[in-house]
Structure 1
Amino acid sequence: MSLASSTPSSASLLRLPSDAALRRRHANPKKGPAFVRCKSTSTDKPKTRTLVDNASNLLTNLLSGGSLGSMPIAEGAVSDLFDRPLFFSLYDWFLEHGSVYKLAFGPKAFVVVSDPIVARHILRENAFSYDKGVLADILEPIMGKGLIPADLETWKERRRVIAPGFHSLYLEAMVKIFTDCSERSISKLEQLLEREGSHGGNAVDLDLEAEFSSLALDIIGLGVFNYDFGSVTKESPVIKAVYGTLFEAEHRSTFYIPYWKLPFVKWIVPRQRKFQNDLKVINDCLDGLIRNAKESRQETDVEKLQERDYANLKDASLLRFLVDMRGADVDGSQLRDDLMTMLIAGHETTAAVLTWAVFLLAQNPSKMRKAQSEIATVLGQGRPTFELIKKLVYIRLIVVEALRLYPQPPLLIRRTLKSDILPGGYKGHKDGYAIPKGTDVFISVYNLHRSPYFWDSPNEFEPERFLVEKKNEEVEGWGGFDPSRSPGALYPNEIVSDFAFLPFGGGPRKCVGDQFALMESTIALAMLLQKFDVELKGSPESVELVTGATIHTKNGLWCKLRKR
């Protein structure tokens, strides 16, 4: 459930080769050992700039060229926006210009950060000097004053109310919902296989990304607002409206001109008319759920709410917690914004991490077998429980490694509320970089997670890497990777990596639902591999990648499933 951010990026496509075919060696003796670099993100020859590209760069230099002082400048190619997702270009420019650089695109300049020291400064040490900027502009019509687009004061108030809801007893109770919903998905797949077997087949072809999407929607519905979408087995107007809204959120995050803000557009443009209708269907549904919850309200203190017998509670949803919390009275509109935010953010992240985890495992049979061996030892043919999740060490590592290689979202977006001085970062300017008020900043999580300066073999799928302490004393100001730094944590986080690993952001505005999303993904993946062998239907190169709020596929993740 990523409530950290979303990202505007190109809606264009990129053919995603397999983990082996994807890369070529890029040796740079001045910057440490040889670095495995994504072939599809760069070429040996510089990209030919178009007339529009050159005009864009000239305009940027005229309007904002001197505003960021001595910071390295990467001149952007507008045509890149139509060739491939933006974050791939940001990665190339990171290798060329360093961990902090100014990106020149048309009349606007952005600061791109690919360094944990600088990310820590922005997200934790100086967090309240930044807001969500352009991200809030994009998402406010959809999420209102929900946690992601909320202004600083609204966010502080809502965070104080919502964060306590994700307490340990609630998460333990959610394990049953995660398991029940996963069993429903497994049962559907088993029925498809039985049907195929009656026709002489022993495998079934299906789009696992679509299955994960339905599963994630059902879990969010039950866990957050006690509503069973039942999307694994049926379709309803509410489900259609949810997906319509998700697609519109994706559209807005990939479209650089906010045409939907123009007068009368929501009535003139067909897709915007549909979006308004979809939004009304969902809001009516949420309003009804909020109204029912308020009618059965049992007001009490936070401490008593957190001590409820959640395992035997008929309605253990987060909505029930928020409505029953004493002193947290809030109008239905704000609650609806909160629920809408968690619906969209939580659904997207989980479906994506499961998709890429399977994609990576399918290309690494030995790791698939290791995962299934752990599942057989820990679960046998039984159901996961909260205690058993703690023993699924390798499955948990697979989930976080999938998030490292395919972060959701690949960019975090901030805007300065006042002037600031960013640290120089690794090999950056020793005096740092002064940035004025109103500067838009992209923290490239993708670059951080695949940085050759902070990770060994950064493009390799190696779940075991999170078990090993890593010190890098030549990087002044970075604490290295130390699993013991966050004792008791089930999953690696920004603390153990000192902000080199940011799957859910970091600092005060970190996602409040990170443990919910990670546990949900762990259970769903374990239960799939417990019952089925999975292989890609086509080659890894046939899987096309597209990005918006998350990194996902263009046409689904088509796999062959066989009963184990």
Structure 2
Amino acid sequence: MAAPCFLQLSSSTVVNVSFQRSDFGCFRSLPANSLFNSKSKSSSIRCQSTSTEEPKTRRNLLDNASNLLTNLLSGGSLGTMPNAEGAVSDLFGRPLFFSLYDWFLEHGSVYKLAFGPKAFVVVSDPIVARHVLRENAFSYDKGVLADILEPIMGKGLIPADLDTWKQRRRVIAPGFHALYLEAMVKIFTSCSERSTMKFEKLLERENSLGGKTIELDLEAEFSSLALDIIGLGVFNYDFGSVTKESPVIKAVYGTLFEAEHRSTFYFPYWKIPLMKWIVPRQRKFQYDLKVINDCLDGLIRNAKETRQETDVEKLQERDYLNLKDASLLRFLVDMRGADVDDRQLRDDLITMLIAGHETTAAVLTWAVFLLAQNPSKMKKAQTEIDSVLGEGSPTYESLKKLEYIRLIVVEALRLYPQPPLLVRRSIKPDILPGGYNGDKDGYTIPVGTDIFISVYNLHRSPYFWDRPNEFEPERFLVQKTGDGIEGWAGFDPSRSPGALYPNEIISDFSFLPFGGGPRKCVGDQFALMESTVALAMLLQKFDIELRGPPESVGIVTGATIHTKNGMWCKLKKRSNVH
């Protein structure tokens, strides 16, 4: 599930650590020759270089004042932990998660990041991440993240308090069983066919005018595709957003935008009484939410009217391939002993709508971005598709044979994790492990400490990955021992036999595309399989290249990592298929 990330400096002030398109500007990417430098030009990840930094003198004054306040108010709150003493200017010149990477290389796997009176613990180590997410998971909650998302997602799985989460997780997790996922492949395929048929019609029109290629913003197309899949798979509603627009679709996108706005805006003004009626965008948000809620209430009502209550074991044995309604909503409504009010069901559905939509659209976008810079890898992927699928469509069984496509998906998630940060807050005192090259006695964590698990740093750590900034899907086939790293078991696919995709178990928490531990994303297999099918069907029909240089594709993020102005690509019909 995608999770927005931000820094809370006080009860009324929020400074964003992520960056996005919004009315208030955005943070932009690093120069191409800095963080993403690579010996292999074809495998490097290159993005637009822009600068919005303040004059140096002004920044120094601001930074000095911040660091003085830091030393006075928070210097000793986390003991001997290395202190990055983050400069306030680092919040405005470039994405903070890039700065977190620089500080990680300088200060180590666990360090304190302090801005004025507020200090945060940044974790960039799988040993420590495993402790927080799995071994001592219930000593932490999602803190301020839950506060920001509650008006949108209510008590859905992401923002839910611990008691609600435990209850709903027990009910929702069984819904993502093998027969359901097998049936979902049919939905993934039919929705992807809509997209490819749309592109083919556009190409036919262009060919009639003498052209051979079309130009499309594939990020926008993937967003529509993901919305259609989530609608049908989760609550049996066909948005049809690939080919049409409706008030419900507009409301969904309005709500998605507001979720990102709230996750990154520095002041939670929407909590002020009457603001939801005074501020135009908040009035629009209330309207959008009502449109969606009315739609979901109708779907829930219809599902309950045709309820066939039975035990969970019987539900998991249904013939999902031939069910008229194989949605997750149908499963939740029919489950015996899982009765909840309509509002909780609605919260569950809207949480999965927002989180599931975001992740899939993002991973497809960056997978194509990476392949477009690596034509030989795109060709290798197409060769596998031709061999496995021929002219046919993916099935649940053929999906298992599309090994290289699956690895491309997870490598895109390694380089562009969704989200780049996981947020936790300690609700009990704890002692974090020191991690690789850290203090052997660990670090004392008081109650109320905000922790950022930098998934971006974990995925690009030079200590746990070879050539961490290069695009190499094949890396996941190679076992890597943990020799020399006490407490880390290395990367070993045999630890998760039968798994279609590498996960946190195989990598011993150095790879966390969907988190880990008890609060790991419940829809991870759904999202990964959906992405695999969509990517395979796109590459089956089309050759793709970027419209401009890779540097023209800027990065902006809120809950997930997006492009700045869309990902414009040139598509042409493959001439050498099969």
TM-score norm. by structure 1 comes to 0.95
2:150 is aligned, of 140, 143, 149, to 140
CA positional deviation for 1:119: 0.1
Determine the C-alpha separation between the residues in 2 that align with 1:16 and 1:229: 37
Aligned match of 1:479 in 489, 494, 499? 489
SS across alignment from 2:392: coil
Partner in structure 2 of residue 23 of structure 1? 36
Kept in 2, the 8 Å contact 1:534–1:560? The answer is: yes
Q: Is the 8 A contact 1:16 1:540 kept in 2?
A: no
Look up the match of 1:300.
310
Residues 227-262 of structure 1: CA deviation (Å, up to 9, x unaligned): 000000000000000000000111111113211111
CA distance in 1, matches of 2:69, 2:297: 48
Counterpart of 2:544 in structure 1 is: 534
CA–CA distance in 1 between the matches of 2:305 and 2:240? 25
Indicate the residue corresponding to 1:202 in structure 2: 212
1:100 aligns with 2:110: yes
Q: Which residue of 2 aligns with 1:510?
A: 520
Provide the rounded CA distance (Å) in 1 between the counterparts of 2:65 and 2:348. Answer: 42
Partner of residue 373 from structure 1, selected from 371, 375, 383: 383
Residue of structure 2 in register with 1:228 after alignment? 238
SS at match of 1:391: coil
- SS of equivalent residue, structure 2 residue 518: coil
Aligned to 2:184: 174
- Counterpart code for 1:23: F
Contact 1:69/1:434 (CA < 8 Å) preserved in 2? yes
Among candidates 395, 409, 413, match of residue 405 of structure 2: 395
Q: Which residue of 2 aligns with 1:10?
A: 18
Q: Which moved more, 1:190-199 or 1:452-461?
A: 190-199
Please tell me the residue identity of whatever aligns with 2:516: G
Is the CA contact 2:30–2:50 (under 8 Å) kept in the aligned structure 1?
no
Q: Write the letter of the residue equivalent to 2:274.
A: F
Correspondence for 2:355? 345
Task: Look up the equivalent residue of 1:460 and give its one-letter code.
Answer: E
Cα RMSD (Å): 1.8
Q: Distance in 2 between matches of 1:210 and 1:355?
A: 9
Q: CA deviation at 1:472?
A: 2.9
2:439 aligned with 1:425, yes or no? no
Aligned residues: 548
Per-residue CA shift, 1:336-358, capped at 9, x if unaligned? 00001000000000000000000
For the pair 1:522 / 2:532, whether they are aligned, the reply is yes
Question: SS at 2:209's partner residue?
Answer: coil
1:41–1:88 Cα contact (<8 Å) kept: no
Aligned with 2:261 (options 219, 235, 251): 251
3-state SS in 1 of match to 2:544: strand
Equivalent runs, 1:264-275 vs 2, <5 Å: 264-275=274-285
Which residue in 2 is equivalent to 1:122?
Answer: 132
Q: In the superposition, relative to structure 1, how do residues 38 and 369 fare at CA in structure 2: closer, same or farther (>3 Å)?
A: closer
Unpaired runs of at least 5, structure 2 = 7-16, 20-25
8 Å CA contact 2:407, 2:501 repeated in 1: yes
The alpha carbon displacement at 1:272 in A equals 0.9
**2:243 is paired with a residue of what secondary structure?**
coil
TM-score for the superposition, normalised by structure 2: 0.92
2:121 counterpart SS class = strand
Q: Could you tell me how far 1:59 is from its partner in structure 2?
A: 1.8
Q: Distance in 2 between matches of 1:546 and 1:94?
A: 22
* CA distance in 2 between partners of 1:486 and 1:472 (Å): 17
Q: Distance in 2 between matches of 1:257 and 1:98?
A: 31
Aligned with 1:288 (options 292, 295, 298): 298
SS at 1:425 equivalent: coil
Letter of the 1:277 partner, please give it.
Y
Partner of 2:506: 496
Instruction: String of CA shifts for 1:144-188, please: whole Å, max 9, x gaps.
Output: 000000000000000000000000000000000000000001110
Paired residue type of 2:564? K
Identity of aligned residues (%): 84
Provide the rounded CA distance (Å) in 2 between the counterparts of 1:83 and 1:361.
Answer: 29
Q: 2:164 aligns with which of 151, 154, 172?
A: 154
Shift of 1:57: 2.1
Would the aligned equivalents of 2:231 and 2:353 in 1 still touch at CA under 8 Å? yes
Residues 235 and 329, structure 2, Cα contact 8 Å, conserved in 1: yes
SS at match of 2:447: coil
Contact 2:241 2:249 in 1 (8 A): yes
- What secondary structure, in the 3-state scheme, does the structure 2 residue paired with 1:501 have? coil
